[in-house]
Amino acid sequence: MTCLARSGVLVVLCFLKIRSVTSQARYSIPEEQVEGSFVGNIARDLGLDVGRLVSGKARIITKGGREYVGLQRDKGTLVIKERIDREELCGKTTPCS
C-alpha cells in the first residue's frame, strides 16, 4: 500500500495493490471419509503461497450452512470437516456433485 500526504491540507491518497487470483481446482472426495482426512493441497494446486492464504484470510464459503470441507490456511490444505453422506446430500440424483 502506498500513501501520499500534502502539508497544509490533509489529503491522503492510498493506492492499494490488489491482485486477484482466478483459478479452479476440482477434487473428488469419497463419501464417509473420516473427519480430518486429507482432500488436497489447494495452495499448491492453485500456485499460491501459503502466506497469502493466511494474510488474505482465505476461507471456504458454503451454500446451505453445512461445511463438509475445511481449509487449513497455515498448510494450504483442504481436509474433511464433516462426514459426507451421498444419499443425504444428493438423494437419488446422479451424478452427485
Overall pTM > 0.85: no
- pLDDT tens digits for range 43-54: 998 888 898 888
Domain residue ranges in the chain: 31-84
Q: How far apart are the C-alpha atoms of 70 and 62, rounded to whole Å? A: 10
CATH fold of 31-84 = Immunoglobulin-like (2.60.40)
Q: Do β-strands 69-72 and 12-15 pair in parallel, antiparallel, or remain unpaired?
A: unpaired
**Contacts for 2 with CB less than 8 Å, ≥ 6 apart:** 14, 15
- pLDDT tens digits for range 68-85: 888 999 999 999 998 888
Please choose, from the candidates 48, 27, 37, the residue with its C-alpha nearest in 3D space to the C-alpha of residue 83: 37
- pLDDT tens digits for range 20-65: 556 788 888 887 889 999 999 989 988 888 988 888 888 888 777 7
